[in-house]
């Protein structure tokens, strides 16, 4: 009987894993801040960790979901490709290049893009060619840079942070100081601060820097998610990561960690659906937190 039960459980896991690797959901969060007072509701689509995956021809299903969200802005959080010799990012270019036809698009790198850029001798893929193709389509890269977005006259600063590659090493978390963040993207100003920071292991430092809304990815939701517990294992083999998927209402910032849209080295998803994140930003007279929406 034990073997039969184990066999059934393994079959359920296998079927659900296959299903989740082929589907995605749209997850909506409402963000309300007094620093956005005077701004009407704006919708931001946040995409992260696609890893060359495809949902239909030329990612048609994914593109349709983005269009249905009617975004005012699209933010990309990195790892849309896979840095690996023998793999190609050509399959995702048609999808990405169509996004600026919907609304402005800003792209911050993840560790995969950053390694392609900084370790050119190791890979046969060209980061420069990838970036040029997307820039020619109208996508703006934020490589330790910031832009000012002024919806309804409200000043919002959007920064794309690249942390040292040593911070992504699998074993032994490396330190990251607020000074290192400031050396890369400068000090936070009184504007509402949206920080695109791919690795969520340094949320405390991002908050201390002055971020109001932190957008991360990288951990793929913990691969397997247990109800009431959260993600079990990050792709860099850290058990039960603190910020692995969902929204976290910290005292000084909202932290949104995408569960990502794809997988690469560890092709596992269980109770951990891939997702397109939609953020609904609104102003308020006083600081206020709102419930999440499906």
Q: Residue 24: what pLDDT?
A: 96
3-state helix, strand, coil in the chain (%, to 5): 30, 25, 45
Q: Is residue 100 part of a domain?
A: yes
Q: Is residue 24 part of a domain?
A: yes
**Residue labelled with tokens 């949902």:** 55
Q: Is residue 292 part of a domain?
A: no
- Boundaries of domain holding 17: 2-283
Q: Distance (Å, rounded) from C-alpha 211 to C-alpha 203?
A: 9
182-210 pLDDT per residue, tens: 999 999 999 999 999 999 999 999 999 99
Which range (1-5, 10-14, 37-41, 149-153) has the least confidence?
1-5
Report the alpha-carbon angle 164-168-170, nearest 5: 145
Residues forming beta bridges with residue 195, ordered by sequence position: 159, 214
Q: Is residue 288 part of a domain?
A: no
Q: Residues near 79 by Cβ (< 8 Å), separated by ≥ 6? A: 48, 49, 50, 51, 110, 111, 112, 113, 198, 217, 218, 260
Q: Residues near 66 by Cβ (< 8 Å), separated by ≥ 6? A: 45, 47, 74, 99, 102, 276
Q: Distance (Å, rounded) from C-alpha 206 to C-alpha 197?
A: 8
Task: Identify the helix (H) or strand (E) that includes residue 156.
Answer: strand 156-161
CATH of the domain at 145: 3.60.21
Q: Is residue 7 part of a domain?
A: yes
Query: Which region holds residue 38: left if phi is over 0, alpha if psi is between -120 and 50, else beta?
Result: left
115-146 pLDDT per residue, tens: 999 999 999 999 999 999 999 999 999 999 99
Q: Residue 86: what pLDDT?
A: 86
Q: Is residue 12 part of a domain?
A: yes
- What is the pLDDT averaged over residues 244-254? 94
Reduced to 3 states, what is the DSSP secondary structure of residue 5? helix
Q: Is residue 220 part of a domain?
A: yes
How many domains does the chain contain in total? Answer: 1
pTM for the full model?
0.93
Residues forming beta bridges with residue 254, ordered by sequence position: 213, 249
Q: Residues near 219 by Cβ (< 8 Å), separated by ≥ 6? A: 200, 231, 234, 235, 236, 241, 243, 244, 245, 257, 260
Q: Distance (Å, rounded) from C-alpha 201 to C-alpha 243?
A: 7
Q: Is residue 272 part of a domain?
A: yes
Q: Residue 142: what pLDDT?
A: 98
Q: Residue 239: what pLDDT?
A: 85
209-224 pLDDT per residue, tens: 999 999 999 999 988 8
């Amino acid at each position: 009987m034990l073997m039969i039960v184990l066999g059934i459980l393994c079959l359920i896991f296998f079927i659900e894993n296959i299903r989740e690797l082929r589907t995605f959901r749209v997850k909506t969060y409402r963000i309300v801040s007094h620093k956005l007072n005077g701004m009407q509701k704006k919708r931001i689509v946040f995409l992260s960790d696609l890893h060359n995956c495809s949902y239909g021809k030329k990612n048609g299903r994914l593109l349709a979901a983005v269009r249905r969200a009617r975004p005012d802005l699209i933010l990309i959080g990195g790892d849309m490709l896979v840095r690996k010799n023998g793999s190609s990012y050509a399959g995702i270019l048609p999808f990405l290049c169509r996004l600026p036809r919907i609304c402005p698009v800003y792209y911050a790198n993840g560790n995969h893009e950053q390694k392609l850029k900084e370790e050119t001798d190791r890979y046969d893929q060209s980061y420069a060619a990838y970036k040029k193709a997307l820039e020619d389509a109208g996508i703006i890269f934020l490589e330790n840079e910031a832009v000012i977005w002024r919806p309804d006259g409200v000043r919002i600063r959007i920064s794309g942070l690249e942390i040292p590659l040593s911070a992504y090493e699998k074993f032994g978390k490396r330190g990251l100081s607020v000074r290192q963040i400031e050396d890369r993207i400068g000090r936070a100003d009184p504007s509402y601060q949206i920080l695109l920071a791919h690795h969520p292991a340094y949320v405390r430092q991002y908050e201390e820097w002055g971020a109001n809304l932190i957008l991360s990815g990288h951990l793929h939701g913990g691969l397997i998610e247990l109800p009431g517990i959260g993600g079990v294992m990050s792709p860099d083999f850290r058990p039960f990561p603190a910020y692995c998927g969902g929204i976290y209402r910290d005292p000084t910032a909202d932290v949104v960690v995408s569960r990502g849209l794809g997988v690469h080295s560890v092709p596992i998803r269980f109770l951990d659906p891939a997702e397109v994140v939609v953020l609904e930003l609104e102003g308020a007279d006083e600081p206020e937190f709102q419930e999440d929406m499906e």
